[in-house]
Protein backbone atom coordinates (compact mmCIF):
# COMPACT_ATOMS: atom_id res chain seq x y z
CA UNK A 1 0.00 0.00 0.00
CA UNK A 2 1.42 3.39 -0.97
CA UNK A 3 1.47 6.41 1.31
CA UNK A 4 -0.32 9.71 0.82
CA UNK A 5 2.99 11.35 -0.11
CA UNK A 6 3.81 8.66 -2.66
CA UNK A 7 0.39 9.03 -4.28
CA UNK A 8 0.77 12.81 -4.40
CA UNK A 9 4.21 12.45 -5.99
CA UNK A 10 2.68 10.14 -8.59
CA UNK A 11 0.07 12.76 -9.44
CA UNK A 12 2.69 15.52 -9.64
CA UNK A 13 4.88 13.38 -11.92
CA UNK A 14 2.01 12.53 -14.29
CA UNK A 15 0.67 16.07 -14.61
CA UNK A 16 4.13 17.58 -14.86
CA UNK A 17 4.96 15.22 -17.71
CA UNK A 18 1.77 16.23 -19.50
CA UNK A 19 2.59 19.91 -18.99
CA UNK A 20 6.12 19.40 -20.26
CA UNK A 21 4.81 17.84 -23.46
CA UNK A 22 2.01 20.39 -23.93
CA UNK A 23 3.00 22.98 -26.56
CA UNK A 24 3.08 26.64 -25.58
CA UNK A 25 0.43 28.57 -27.49
CA UNK A 26 1.31 31.72 -29.39
CA UNK A 27 -0.14 33.77 -26.52
CA UNK A 28 2.27 32.20 -24.02
CA UNK A 29 -0.23 29.92 -22.30
CA UNK A 30 -0.79 26.18 -22.24
CA UNK A 31 -4.61 26.35 -22.38
CA UNK A 32 -7.23 28.82 -23.58
CA UNK A 33 -10.37 27.16 -22.19
CA UNK A 34 -9.86 27.73 -18.46
CA UNK A 35 -7.21 30.10 -17.14
CA UNK A 36 -6.91 28.04 -13.94
CA UNK A 37 -5.55 25.03 -15.81
CA UNK A 38 -2.51 27.11 -16.72
CA UNK A 39 -1.84 27.74 -13.05
CA UNK A 40 -2.37 24.10 -12.05
CA UNK A 41 -0.27 22.54 -14.80
CA UNK A 42 2.52 25.09 -14.46
CA UNK A 43 2.57 24.52 -10.69
CA UNK A 44 3.01 20.78 -11.16
CA UNK A 45 5.70 21.31 -13.79
CA UNK A 46 7.57 23.68 -11.50
CA UNK A 47 7.33 21.20 -8.60
CA UNK A 48 8.77 18.37 -10.68
CA UNK A 49 11.54 20.61 -11.99
CA UNK A 50 12.86 21.50 -8.52
CA UNK A 51 12.21 18.25 -6.59
CA UNK A 52 14.59 15.43 -7.51
CA UNK A 53 12.47 12.96 -5.52
CA UNK A 54 9.73 13.24 -8.16
CA UNK A 55 10.14 11.08 -11.25
CA UNK A 56 10.51 13.31 -14.29
CA UNK A 57 11.56 12.46 -17.82
CA UNK A 58 12.79 15.71 -19.27
CA UNK A 59 15.19 18.59 -18.88
CA UNK A 60 14.46 20.05 -15.44
CA UNK A 61 16.05 23.40 -16.27
CA UNK A 62 13.90 23.75 -19.38
CA UNK A 63 10.87 22.55 -17.42
CA UNK A 64 11.36 25.20 -14.75
CA UNK A 65 11.77 27.93 -17.36
CA UNK A 66 8.60 26.82 -19.12
CA UNK A 67 6.63 26.71 -15.87
CA UNK A 68 7.81 30.16 -14.82
CA UNK A 69 7.02 31.60 -18.24
CA UNK A 70 3.44 30.37 -18.10
CA UNK A 71 3.02 31.61 -14.54
CA UNK A 72 4.39 35.06 -15.44
CA UNK A 73 1.98 35.31 -18.37
CA UNK A 74 -0.85 34.33 -16.02
CA UNK A 75 0.02 36.94 -13.40
CA UNK A 76 0.28 39.66 -16.04
CA UNK A 77 -3.39 39.37 -17.07
CA UNK A 78 -4.78 39.97 -13.58
CA UNK A 79 -6.80 43.19 -13.35
CA UNK A 80 -4.52 45.31 -11.16
CA UNK A 81 -6.43 48.59 -11.42
CA UNK A 82 -7.87 49.45 -7.97
CA UNK A 83 -10.54 51.61 -9.63
CA UNK A 84 -11.82 48.73 -11.75
CA UNK A 85 -15.01 46.83 -10.94
CA UNK A 86 -13.09 43.61 -11.62
CA UNK A 87 -10.03 44.58 -9.57
CA UNK A 88 -7.98 41.53 -8.61
CA UNK A 89 -9.73 39.21 -11.07
CA UNK A 90 -8.75 37.16 -14.13
CA UNK A 91 -10.63 36.15 -17.25
CA UNK A 92 -12.03 32.61 -17.03
CA UNK A 93 -11.22 31.73 -20.64
CA UNK A 94 -8.64 33.46 -22.80
CA UNK A 95 -10.61 34.11 -25.99
CA UNK A 96 -10.38 36.04 -28.26
CA UNK A 97 -7.07 36.89 -26.55
CA UNK A 98 -5.86 36.94 -22.94
CA UNK A 99 -5.91 40.73 -22.93
CA UNK A 100 -9.39 41.07 -24.48
CA UNK A 101 -11.16 38.27 -22.55
CA UNK A 102 -13.66 39.55 -20.01
CA UNK A 103 -12.78 39.18 -16.33
CA UNK A 104 -14.65 36.64 -14.21
CA UNK A 105 -15.16 36.33 -10.46
CA UNK A 106 -14.52 32.56 -10.33
CA UNK A 107 -10.77 32.05 -10.91
CA UNK A 108 -9.54 33.97 -7.88
CA UNK A 109 -11.89 32.19 -5.44
CA UNK A 110 -9.77 29.06 -5.21
CA UNK A 111 -6.72 29.96 -7.27
CA UNK A 112 -5.94 33.00 -5.13
CA UNK A 113 -5.49 30.98 -1.94
CA UNK A 114 -3.55 28.30 -3.79
CA UNK A 115 -1.20 30.98 -5.12
CA UNK A 116 -0.33 31.87 -1.53
CA UNK A 117 0.46 28.21 -0.86
CA UNK A 118 2.60 27.97 -4.01
CA UNK A 119 4.50 31.18 -3.24
CA UNK A 120 5.23 30.05 0.32
CA UNK A 121 6.18 26.46 -0.51
CA UNK A 122 8.57 27.37 -3.33
CA UNK A 123 9.81 30.77 -2.19
CA UNK A 124 13.43 29.59 -2.17
CA UNK A 125 13.29 28.13 -5.71
CA UNK A 126 11.41 30.94 -7.46
CA UNK A 127 13.23 33.27 -9.79
CA UNK A 128 13.38 36.86 -8.61
CA UNK A 129 11.05 37.97 -11.40
CA UNK A 130 8.40 35.40 -10.50
CA UNK A 131 8.76 36.03 -6.77
CA UNK A 132 8.15 39.75 -7.24
CA UNK A 133 5.25 39.17 -9.67
CA UNK A 134 3.61 36.76 -7.24
CA UNK A 135 3.90 39.18 -4.33
CA UNK A 136 2.39 41.96 -6.45
CA UNK A 137 -0.45 39.72 -7.55
CA UNK A 138 -1.20 38.49 -4.02
CA UNK A 139 -1.23 42.04 -2.68
CA UNK A 140 -3.81 43.00 -5.33
CA UNK A 141 -5.93 39.96 -4.40
CA UNK A 142 -5.81 40.98 -0.73
CA UNK A 143 -6.69 44.60 -1.48
CA UNK A 144 -9.49 43.63 -3.88
CA UNK A 145 -11.55 42.39 -0.90
CA UNK A 146 -13.40 39.88 -3.10
CA UNK A 147 -13.80 37.59 -0.10
CA UNK A 148 -15.54 40.15 2.15
CA UNK A 149 -19.02 38.71 1.81
CA UNK A 150 -21.41 37.67 4.59
CA UNK A 151 -22.47 34.06 5.06
CA UNK A 152 -25.91 33.33 3.62
CA UNK A 153 -26.13 30.05 1.70
CA UNK A 154 -23.23 28.19 3.35
CA UNK A 155 -22.12 26.84 -0.02
CA UNK A 156 -18.82 26.28 -1.79
CA UNK A 157 -18.31 29.94 -2.74
CA UNK A 158 -18.52 31.05 0.88
CA UNK A 159 -16.27 28.19 1.99
CA UNK A 160 -13.60 29.59 -0.33
CA UNK A 161 -14.18 33.16 0.92
CA UNK A 162 -13.78 31.95 4.51
CA UNK A 163 -10.49 30.22 3.77
CA UNK A 164 -9.26 33.29 1.86
CA UNK A 165 -10.02 35.54 4.84
CA UNK A 166 -7.80 33.38 7.04
CA UNK A 167 -5.01 32.97 4.49
CA UNK A 168 -4.75 36.59 3.32
CA UNK A 169 -5.41 37.94 6.80
CA UNK A 170 -2.44 36.01 8.16
CA UNK A 171 -0.18 36.89 5.20
CA UNK A 172 -0.76 40.62 5.56
CA UNK A 173 -1.06 40.85 9.33
CA UNK A 174 -4.75 41.80 9.18
CA UNK A 175 -5.98 40.59 12.58
CA UNK A 176 -9.56 41.77 11.96
CA UNK A 177 -9.74 39.79 8.72
CA UNK A 178 -8.36 36.68 10.43
CA UNK A 179 -10.98 37.03 13.16
CA UNK A 180 -13.71 37.45 10.52
CA UNK A 181 -12.50 34.28 8.82
CA UNK A 182 -12.36 32.39 12.12
CA UNK A 183 -15.92 33.38 13.01
CA UNK A 184 -17.11 32.45 9.50
CA UNK A 185 -15.37 29.09 9.84
CA UNK A 186 -17.04 28.39 13.18
CA UNK A 187 -20.48 29.37 11.89
CA UNK A 188 -20.01 27.24 8.76
CA UNK A 189 -18.97 24.16 10.71
CA UNK A 190 -21.81 24.60 13.18
CA UNK A 191 -24.32 24.95 10.33
CA UNK A 192 -23.26 21.92 8.30
CA UNK A 193 -22.79 19.60 11.26
CA UNK A 194 -26.21 20.52 12.66
CA UNK A 195 -28.16 20.65 9.38
CA UNK A 196 -26.09 18.92 6.69
CA UNK A 197 -24.84 20.32 3.40
CA UNK A 198 -27.32 21.81 0.97
CA UNK A 199 -24.82 20.88 -1.77
CA UNK A 200 -25.30 17.14 -1.12
CA UNK A 201 -22.88 15.16 -3.27
CA UNK A 202 -22.24 18.43 -5.13
CA UNK A 203 -19.33 17.59 -7.38
CA UNK A 204 -16.81 19.04 -8.12
CA UNK A 205 -17.69 21.80 -5.66
CA UNK A 206 -17.26 19.53 -2.64
CA UNK A 207 -13.59 19.34 -3.54
CA UNK A 208 -13.40 23.13 -3.46
CA UNK A 209 -14.47 22.95 0.19
CA UNK A 210 -11.76 20.37 0.82
CA UNK A 211 -9.03 22.26 -1.04
CA UNK A 212 -9.86 25.66 0.44
CA UNK A 213 -9.86 24.45 4.03
CA UNK A 214 -6.88 22.12 3.55
CA UNK A 215 -4.91 24.99 2.07
CA UNK A 216 -5.77 27.12 5.09
CA UNK A 217 -4.95 24.26 7.49
CA UNK A 218 -1.51 23.84 5.92
CA UNK A 219 -0.77 27.58 6.06
CA UNK A 220 -2.37 28.91 9.26
CA UNK A 221 -0.08 29.14 12.26
CA UNK A 222 -2.63 29.95 14.99
CA UNK A 223 -3.18 26.65 16.82
CA UNK A 224 -6.79 27.41 17.83
CA UNK A 225 -7.82 28.27 14.28
CA UNK A 226 -5.89 25.31 12.89
CA UNK A 227 -7.74 22.98 15.28
CA UNK A 228 -11.06 24.38 14.07
CA UNK A 229 -9.95 23.83 10.46
CA UNK A 230 -9.08 20.23 11.37
CA UNK A 231 -12.57 19.73 12.80
CA UNK A 232 -14.06 21.13 9.58
CA UNK A 233 -11.93 18.79 7.48
CA UNK A 234 -12.81 15.83 9.71
CA UNK A 235 -16.48 16.55 8.96
CA UNK A 236 -15.88 16.85 5.23
CA UNK A 237 -13.93 13.60 5.01
CA UNK A 238 -16.53 11.82 7.14
CA UNK A 239 -19.15 12.97 4.65
CA UNK A 240 -17.03 11.73 1.76
CA UNK A 241 -16.35 8.38 3.41
CA UNK A 242 -20.05 7.79 4.02
CA UNK A 243 -20.76 7.87 0.29
CA UNK A 244 -17.50 6.30 -0.91
CA UNK A 245 -17.09 3.00 -2.75
CA UNK A 246 -13.80 2.34 -4.50
CA UNK A 247 -13.50 5.79 -6.07
CA UNK A 248 -17.23 6.09 -6.78
CA UNK A 249 -19.41 8.76 -5.19
CA UNK A 250 -22.64 6.90 -4.47
CA UNK A 251 -26.10 8.28 -3.90
CA UNK A 252 -27.79 11.42 -5.22
CA UNK A 253 -26.07 14.64 -6.24
CA UNK A 254 -27.28 18.22 -6.07
CA UNK A 255 -25.00 19.01 -9.00
CA UNK A 256 -22.91 16.99 -11.42
CA UNK A 257 -20.78 17.66 -14.46
CA UNK A 258 -20.02 15.23 -17.29
CA UNK A 259 -16.79 14.18 -15.54
CA UNK A 260 -18.84 13.11 -12.49
CA UNK A 261 -21.46 11.03 -14.25
CA UNK A 262 -21.81 8.37 -15.62
CA UNK A 263 -18.16 7.78 -14.69
CA UNK A 264 -16.32 9.17 -11.69
CA UNK A 265 -13.23 10.82 -13.15
CA UNK A 266 -12.76 13.72 -10.70
CA UNK A 267 -11.06 11.33 -8.28
CA UNK A 268 -7.61 12.71 -7.48
CA UNK A 269 -8.40 13.69 -3.88
CA UNK A 270 -9.96 10.26 -3.31
CA UNK A 271 -6.85 8.66 -4.76
CA UNK A 272 -4.58 10.62 -2.43
CA UNK A 273 -6.67 9.83 0.66
CA UNK A 274 -7.61 6.20 0.00
CA UNK A 275 -5.46 4.80 -2.82
CA UNK A 276 -7.70 1.75 -3.31
CA UNK A 277 -8.05 2.13 -7.08
CA UNK A 278 -5.70 2.71 -9.96
CA UNK A 279 -4.77 6.30 -10.78
CA UNK A 280 -6.52 7.08 -14.08
CA UNK A 281 -4.65 8.55 -17.01
CA UNK A 282 -7.52 10.97 -17.72
CA UNK A 283 -7.59 13.71 -15.07
CA UNK A 284 -10.12 16.42 -15.96
CA UNK A 285 -9.82 18.39 -12.69
CA UNK A 286 -6.17 18.41 -11.63
CA UNK A 287 -6.42 21.44 -9.31
CA UNK A 288 -4.09 20.95 -6.28
CA UNK A 289 -4.60 17.32 -5.25
CA UNK A 290 -0.87 16.69 -5.66
CA UNK A 291 0.01 19.43 -3.16
CA UNK A 292 -2.72 19.61 -0.52
CA UNK A 293 -3.39 16.72 1.85
CA UNK A 294 -5.14 16.25 5.17
CA UNK A 295 -5.14 12.69 6.45
CA UNK A 296 -8.63 11.73 7.60
CA UNK A 297 -9.11 10.02 10.99
CA UNK A 298 -8.58 6.25 11.04
CA UNK A 299 -12.27 5.56 11.69
CA UNK A 300 -13.25 7.64 8.66
CA UNK A 301 -10.83 5.78 6.42
CA UNK A 302 -12.13 2.48 7.78
CA UNK A 303 -15.70 3.52 6.93
CA UNK A 304 -14.68 4.20 3.35
CA UNK A 305 -12.51 1.17 2.74
CA UNK A 306 -14.04 -1.67 4.76
CA UNK A 307 -17.39 -2.61 3.26
CA UNK A 308 -17.05 -6.38 3.70
CA UNK A 309 -18.90 -6.60 7.04
CA UNK A 310 -22.27 -6.41 5.30
CA UNK A 311 -24.63 -3.99 3.57
CA UNK A 312 -25.46 -0.65 5.19
CA UNK A 313 -28.37 1.72 4.65
CA UNK A 314 -27.66 5.46 4.80
CA UNK A 315 -30.77 7.58 5.42
CA UNK A 316 -30.19 11.31 5.47
CA UNK A 317 -32.13 14.52 5.90
CA UNK A 318 -30.78 17.27 3.69
CA UNK A 319 -31.61 20.98 4.13
CA UNK A 320 -33.45 22.30 1.12
CA UNK A 321 -32.14 25.38 -0.60
CA UNK A 322 -33.80 27.10 -3.55
CA UNK A 323 -31.69 29.95 -4.84
CA UNK A 324 -30.60 31.88 -1.75
CA UNK A 325 -33.69 31.02 0.35
CA UNK A 326 -32.83 28.76 3.27
CA UNK A 327 -35.70 26.87 4.90
CA UNK A 328 -34.58 25.66 8.33
CA UNK A 329 -37.23 22.94 8.70
CA UNK A 330 -37.70 21.96 5.07
CA UNK A 331 -35.72 18.85 4.17
CA UNK A 332 -35.04 16.50 1.32
CA UNK A 333 -34.38 12.83 2.05
CA UNK A 334 -31.65 10.67 0.54
CA UNK A 335 -31.33 6.89 0.71
CA UNK A 336 -28.33 4.74 -0.21
CA UNK A 337 -27.79 0.99 0.15
CA UNK A 338 -24.07 0.14 0.10
CA UNK A 339 -22.39 -3.24 -0.26
CA UNK A 340 -18.74 -4.02 -0.99
CA UNK A 341 -19.59 -4.62 -4.69
CA UNK A 342 -22.24 -2.03 -5.52
CA UNK A 343 -24.35 0.78 -4.10
CA UNK A 344 -27.77 2.03 -5.11
CA UNK A 345 -30.24 4.68 -4.08
CA UNK A 346 -31.04 8.31 -4.58
CA UNK A 347 -33.15 11.20 -3.37
CA UNK A 348 -36.88 10.96 -2.80
CA UNK A 349 -37.79 14.53 -3.69
CA UNK A 350 -37.29 16.30 -6.98
CA UNK A 351 -35.99 19.86 -6.69
CA UNK A 352 -34.68 22.11 -9.44
CA UNK A 353 -31.18 22.75 -8.19
CA UNK A 354 -28.78 25.27 -9.75
CA UNK A 355 -28.50 24.69 -13.53
CA UNK A 356 -30.98 21.81 -13.08
CA UNK A 357 -28.15 19.37 -12.33
CA UNK A 358 -29.83 17.25 -9.65
CA UNK A 359 -28.97 13.59 -10.18
CA UNK A 360 -31.92 11.61 -8.81
CA UNK A 361 -30.80 7.96 -8.55
CA UNK A 362 -28.35 5.38 -9.80
CA UNK A 363 -26.47 2.14 -9.24
CA UNK A 364 -22.74 2.65 -8.65
CA UNK A 365 -19.79 0.27 -8.92
CA UNK A 366 -16.18 0.60 -7.70
CA UNK A 367 -14.00 2.05 -10.45
CA UNK A 368 -11.68 -0.94 -10.72
CA UNK A 369 -14.61 -3.39 -11.00
CA UNK A 370 -15.80 -2.12 -14.37
CA UNK A 371 -14.59 -1.27 -17.85
CA UNK A 372 -15.84 2.17 -18.83
CA UNK A 373 -18.61 3.96 -16.93
CA UNK A 374 -19.30 2.91 -13.34
CA UNK A 375 -22.84 4.23 -12.89
CA UNK A 376 -26.13 2.97 -14.26
CA UNK A 377 -29.34 5.03 -14.29
CA UNK A 378 -32.39 6.16 -16.30
CA UNK A 379 -34.14 9.49 -16.45
CA UNK A 380 -36.60 11.63 -18.38
CA UNK A 381 -34.71 14.51 -20.05
CA UNK A 382 -35.63 18.10 -19.41
CA UNK A 383 -36.54 20.23 -22.44
CA UNK A 384 -33.35 22.25 -21.93
CA UNK A 385 -31.02 19.24 -22.03
CA UNK A 386 -28.12 19.59 -24.49
CA UNK A 387 -27.77 16.89 -27.12
CA UNK A 388 -25.73 13.97 -25.90
CA UNK A 389 -25.75 15.10 -22.26
CA UNK A 390 -26.73 12.52 -19.64
CA UNK A 391 -27.76 15.17 -17.10
CA UNK A 392 -30.60 17.69 -16.67
CA UNK A 393 -33.56 15.58 -15.59
CA UNK A 394 -37.19 16.63 -15.70
CA UNK A 395 -39.63 16.70 -12.79
CA UNK A 396 -41.89 13.94 -14.14
CA UNK A 397 -40.53 11.07 -12.07
CA UNK A 398 -41.54 9.22 -8.93
CA UNK A 399 -39.16 6.85 -7.16
CA UNK A 400 -39.06 4.11 -4.57
CA UNK A 401 -35.83 2.88 -2.97
CA UNK A 402 -35.50 -0.19 -0.80
CA UNK A 403 -32.24 -2.03 -0.26
CA UNK A 404 -31.16 -3.54 -3.59
CA UNK A 405 -34.22 -2.36 -5.54
CA UNK A 406 -34.94 0.95 -7.26
CA UNK A 407 -38.32 1.67 -8.86
CA UNK A 408 -38.97 4.73 -11.02
CA UNK A 409 -42.14 5.75 -12.85
CA UNK A 410 -42.34 8.37 -15.58
CA UNK A 411 -45.65 10.14 -16.25
CA UNK A 412 -44.74 12.53 -19.07
CA UNK A 413 -47.22 15.30 -20.07
CA UNK A 414 -47.89 16.50 -23.58
CA UNK A 415 -45.27 18.89 -24.89
CA UNK A 416 -42.38 17.13 -23.16
CA UNK A 417 -39.95 14.63 -24.76
CA UNK A 418 -41.93 11.36 -24.87
CA UNK A 419 -39.06 9.03 -24.03
CA UNK A 420 -36.63 8.12 -21.28
CA UNK A 421 -32.94 7.45 -21.65
CA UNK A 422 -30.50 5.41 -19.66
CA UNK A 423 -26.87 4.49 -19.29
CA UNK A 424 -25.55 1.12 -18.13
CA UNK A 425 -22.00 -0.13 -17.56
CA UNK A 426 -20.46 -2.58 -19.97
CA UNK A 427 -20.75 -6.23 -19.01
CA UNK A 428 -22.30 -9.46 -20.15
CA UNK A 429 -25.89 -8.44 -20.93
CA UNK A 430 -28.81 -10.63 -21.96
CA UNK A 431 -31.56 -8.72 -23.68
CA UNK A 432 -35.24 -9.71 -23.62
CA UNK A 433 -38.34 -7.80 -24.77
CA UNK A 434 -39.08 -6.74 -21.18
CA UNK A 435 -35.67 -6.01 -19.80
CA UNK A 436 -31.93 -6.43 -19.57
CA UNK A 437 -30.14 -8.89 -17.30
CA UNK A 438 -26.42 -8.58 -16.88
CA UNK A 439 -23.27 -9.28 -14.96
CA UNK A 440 -20.93 -6.40 -14.14
CA UNK A 441 -17.88 -7.67 -12.29
CA UNK A 442 -19.27 -9.89 -9.57
CA UNK A 443 -22.69 -8.23 -9.53
CA UNK A 444 -25.86 -9.41 -11.26
CA UNK A 445 -28.16 -6.60 -12.35
CA UNK A 446 -31.77 -6.83 -13.58
CA UNK A 447 -33.27 -3.85 -15.41
CA UNK A 448 -36.98 -4.05 -16.24
CA UNK A 449 -38.37 -1.44 -18.66
CA UNK A 450 -42.11 -1.08 -19.12
CA UNK A 451 -42.08 0.02 -22.76
CA UNK A 452 -40.08 -1.26 -25.71
CA UNK A 453 -36.47 -0.12 -25.64
CA UNK A 454 -33.39 0.13 -27.81
CA UNK A 455 -29.89 -0.59 -26.52
CA UNK A 456 -26.75 0.69 -28.22
CA UNK A 457 -23.38 -0.68 -27.11
CA UNK A 458 -20.76 2.07 -27.18
CA UNK A 459 -17.04 2.01 -26.42
CA UNK A 460 -17.45 2.63 -22.69
CA UNK A 461 -21.17 2.14 -21.95
CA UNK A 462 -24.56 0.86 -23.02
CA UNK A 463 -26.95 3.63 -24.05
CA UNK A 464 -30.67 2.82 -23.76
CA UNK A 465 -33.74 4.71 -24.95
CA UNK A 466 -37.41 3.83 -24.49
CA UNK A 467 -40.36 5.64 -26.07
CA UNK A 468 -43.68 6.37 -24.42
CA UNK A 469 -45.35 9.06 -22.33
CA UNK A 470 -45.89 6.55 -19.54
CA UNK A 471 -42.97 4.37 -18.63
CA UNK A 472 -41.26 2.70 -15.72
CA UNK A 473 -37.93 1.16 -14.75
CA UNK A 474 -37.25 -1.35 -11.99
CA UNK A 475 -33.68 -2.29 -11.07
CA UNK A 476 -32.51 -5.02 -8.72
CA UNK A 477 -28.91 -6.06 -7.97
CA UNK A 478 -27.25 -8.90 -6.08
CA UNK A 479 -23.63 -9.90 -5.77
CA UNK A 480 -22.32 -13.38 -6.52
CA UNK A 481 -22.18 -14.50 -2.89
CA UNK A 482 -25.85 -13.62 -2.45
CA UNK A 483 -26.64 -15.24 -5.79
CA UNK A 484 -25.01 -18.47 -4.67
CA UNK A 485 -27.37 -18.62 -1.68
CA UNK A 486 -30.22 -18.47 -4.18
CA UNK A 487 -28.51 -21.20 -6.23
CA UNK A 488 -28.01 -18.87 -9.20
CA UNK A 489 -25.28 -20.46 -11.31
CA UNK A 490 -24.43 -17.76 -13.88
CA UNK A 491 -25.81 -14.76 -15.71
CA UNK A 492 -27.93 -16.95 -18.00
CA UNK A 493 -29.56 -18.62 -15.02
CA UNK A 494 -30.03 -15.20 -13.41
CA UNK A 495 -31.68 -13.87 -16.56
CA UNK A 496 -34.04 -16.83 -16.70
CA UNK A 497 -35.02 -16.43 -13.05
CA UNK A 498 -35.51 -12.67 -13.22
CA UNK A 499 -37.36 -12.72 -16.53
CA UNK A 500 -40.04 -14.74 -14.75
CA UNK A 501 -40.27 -12.13 -11.97
CA UNK A 502 -41.62 -9.26 -14.07
CA UNK A 503 -43.04 -6.21 -12.27
CA UNK A 504 -46.75 -5.52 -12.71
CA UNK A 505 -47.62 -2.17 -14.26
CA UNK A 506 -51.04 -0.76 -13.40
CA UNK A 507 -53.30 1.53 -15.37
CA UNK A 508 -52.63 4.53 -13.10
CA UNK A 509 -48.83 4.48 -13.42
CA UNK A 510 -48.56 1.92 -10.65
CA UNK A 511 -45.70 -0.55 -10.26
CA UNK A 512 -45.76 -3.59 -8.00
CA UNK A 513 -42.74 -5.82 -7.59
CA UNK A 514 -41.59 -8.57 -5.25
CA UNK A 515 -37.85 -8.46 -4.61
CA UNK A 516 -35.46 -11.37 -4.35
CA UNK A 517 -35.75 -10.86 -0.58
CA UNK A 518 -39.51 -11.51 -0.97
CA UNK A 519 -40.50 -7.98 -0.04
CA UNK A 520 -43.53 -6.54 -1.78
CA UNK A 521 -42.94 -3.04 -3.15
CA UNK A 522 -45.59 -0.71 -4.53
CA UNK A 523 -45.10 2.63 -6.25
CA UNK A 524 -48.02 4.67 -7.53
CA UNK A 525 -47.03 7.96 -9.04
CA UNK A 526 -50.44 9.18 -10.21
CA UNK A 527 -50.90 12.69 -8.90
CA UNK A 528 -54.65 12.57 -9.44
CA UNK A 529 -54.99 9.38 -7.37
CA UNK A 530 -52.38 10.32 -4.78
CA UNK A 531 -48.82 9.01 -4.59
CA UNK A 532 -48.29 5.72 -2.74
CA UNK A 533 -44.91 4.26 -1.80
CA UNK A 534 -45.28 1.10 0.23
CA UNK A 535 -42.90 -1.63 1.39
CA UNK A 536 -44.71 -4.78 2.57
CA UNK A 537 -47.79 -2.61 2.93
CA UNK A 538 -46.06 -0.06 5.19
CA UNK A 539 -45.56 3.62 4.38
CA UNK A 540 -41.91 4.73 4.32
CA UNK A 541 -40.87 6.16 7.70
CA UNK A 542 -38.99 9.39 7.09
CA UNK A 543 -38.62 10.03 10.83
CA UNK A 544 -35.74 7.54 10.74
CA UNK A 545 -33.77 9.85 8.44
CA UNK A 546 -31.11 11.81 10.32
CA UNK A 547 -28.67 14.61 9.51
CA UNK A 548 -25.67 12.33 9.99
Q: Please, are residues 41 and 31 in contact by the beta-carbon 8 Å criterion? A: yes
Do 395 and 468 belong together in one domain? yes
Last residue in a domain, options 146, 164, 189: 146
pLDDT attached to residue 355: 86
DSSP string, 159-182: HHHHHHHHHHHHHTT-HHHHHHHH
Do 136 and 235 belong together in one domain? no
526 pLDDT tier (thresholds 50, 70, 90):
low
Cα dihedral 35/39/41/43 (nearest 10): 180
Q: Whole-angstrom Cα distance, residue 538 to residue 520?
A: 10
CA distances from 293 to 230, 407, 489 (A): 12, 40, 45
Do 263 and 387 belong together in one domain? no
- Of 15-24, 133-142, 384-393, 417-426, least confident by mean pLDDT is 384-393
Do 24 and 171 belong together in one domain? no
From edge to edge, which strands make up the β-sheet containing 532-535?
504-505, 510-514, 520-524, 532-535, 538-539
Do 129 and 62 belong together in one domain? yes
Do 114 and 189 belong together in one domain? no
DSSP string, 467-495: E-SEEEEEEEEEEHHHHHHTT--SHHHHH
Total structural domains within the chain: 3
What pLDDT, in 10s, does the model give residues 91-146?
999 999 999 999 999 999 999 999 999 999 999 999 999 999 999 999 999 999 99
Last residue in a domain, options 308, 325, 350: 308
328 pLDDT tier (thresholds 50, 70, 90):
low
Cβ burial, residue 134 (10 Å; 0-12/13-18/19+): buried
pLDDT attached to residue 290: 98
In a domain? residue 352: no
For 186, the domain range is: 148-308
In a domain? residue 362: no
Of 380, 401, 411, nearest to 509 by C-alpha is 411
Q: If you ran DSSP here, which 8-state letter would residue 194 be given?
A: H
In a domain? residue 343: no
What pLDDT, in 10s, does the model give residues 404-426?
999 999 999 999 999 999 999 99
Three-state DSSP state, 496: helix
Q: Name residues whose C-beta falls within 8 Å of residue 278's C-beta, 6 or more positions apart in sequence.
A: 367, 368
Looking at the DSSP bridge assignments, the partners of residue 457 are: 462
In a domain? residue 217: yes
- Of 64-78, 378-392, 430-444, least confident by mean pLDDT is 378-392
Do 406 and 286 belong together in one domain? no
Q: Whole-angstrom Cα distance, residue 90 to residue 108?
A: 7
What pLDDT, in 10s, does the model give residues 288-327?
999 999 999 999 999 999 999 999 999 999 998 744 445 5
In a domain? residue 356: no
Q: Please, are residues 419 and 452 in contact by the beta-carbon 8 Å criterion? A: no
Do 188 and 295 belong together in one domain? yes
Cα dihedral 236/239/242/244 (nearest 10): -60
pLDDT attached to residue 329: 61
Q: Whole-angstrom Cα distance, residue 450 to residue 422?
A: 13
pLDDT attached to residue 324: 40
For range 526-531, the mean pLDDT: 67
For range 457-469, the mean pLDDT: 97
Last residue in a domain, options 146, 168, 191: 146
In a domain? residue 323: no
pLDDT attached to residue 323: 47
Q: Whole-angstrom Cα distance, residue 37 to residue 272?
A: 20
Of 495, 484, 489, nearest to 427 by C-alpha is 495
213: part of which helix (H) or strand (E)?
Answer: helix 205-219
Helices and strands per DSSP (H, E), number in the chain: 13, 23
Do 127 and 173 belong together in one domain? no
Q: Name residues whose C-beta falls within 8 Å of residue 292's C-beta, 6 or more positions apart in sequence.
A: 117, 210, 211, 214, 215, 218
Write down the mean pLDDT value for the chain: 95
Q: Whole-angstrom Cα distance, residue 393 to residue 362?
A: 13
Do 402 and 267 belong together in one domain? no
What pLDDT, in 10s, does the model give residues 241-296?
999 999 999 999 999 999 999 999 999 999 999 999 999 999 999 999 999 999 99
Q: Whole-angstrom Cα distance, residue 429 to residue 439?
A: 7
Distance of alpha carbon 318 from its chain centroid, rounded?
17
Q: Please, are residues 469 and 418 in contact by the beta-carbon 8 Å criterion? A: yes
Q: Whole-angstrom Cα distance, residue 7 to residue 271?
A: 7
pLDDT attached to residue 354: 83
Q: Whole-angstrom Cα distance, residue 372 to residue 3?
A: 27
Q: Whole-angstrom Cα distance, residue 255 to residue 241?
A: 18
Do 128 and 152 belong together in one domain? no
What pLDDT, in 10s, does the model give residues 159-209?
999 999 999 999 999 999 999 999 999 999 999 999 999 999 988 899 999
In a domain? residue 353: no
User: What is the pTM assigned to this prediction?
Assistant: 0.96
Do 401 and 428 belong together in one domain? yes
449: part of which helix (H) or strand (E)?
Answer: strand 443-449
Three-state DSSP state, 447: strand
Q: Whole-angstrom Cα distance, residue 340 to residue 220?
A: 38
In a domain? residue 325: no
What pLDDT, in 10s, does the model give residues 26-58?
999 999 999 999 999 999 999 999 999 999 999
Q: What φ, ψ does residue 505 adopt, rounded to 5°?
A: -105, 120
437: part of which helix (H) or strand (E)?
Answer: strand 435-440
pLDDT attached to residue 325: 45
Amino acid sequence: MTTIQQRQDEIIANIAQAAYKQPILSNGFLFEGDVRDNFYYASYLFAASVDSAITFEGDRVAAKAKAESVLLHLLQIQDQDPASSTYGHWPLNLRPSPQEASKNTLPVELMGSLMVYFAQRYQEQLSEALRVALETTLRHIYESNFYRKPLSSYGHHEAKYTAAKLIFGQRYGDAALVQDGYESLQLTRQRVTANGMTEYGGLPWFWHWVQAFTCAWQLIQDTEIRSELARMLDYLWSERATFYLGGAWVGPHARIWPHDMPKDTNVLHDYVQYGDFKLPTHMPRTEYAGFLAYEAPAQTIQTALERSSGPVEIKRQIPKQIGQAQHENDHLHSYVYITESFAMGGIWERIREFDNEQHRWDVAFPLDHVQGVNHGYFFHPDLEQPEGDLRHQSEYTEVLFHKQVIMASYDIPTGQPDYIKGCLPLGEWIETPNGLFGQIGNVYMAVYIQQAFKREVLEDRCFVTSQGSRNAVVVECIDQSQAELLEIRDVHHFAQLMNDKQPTYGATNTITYTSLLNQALLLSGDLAQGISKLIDGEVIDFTSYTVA
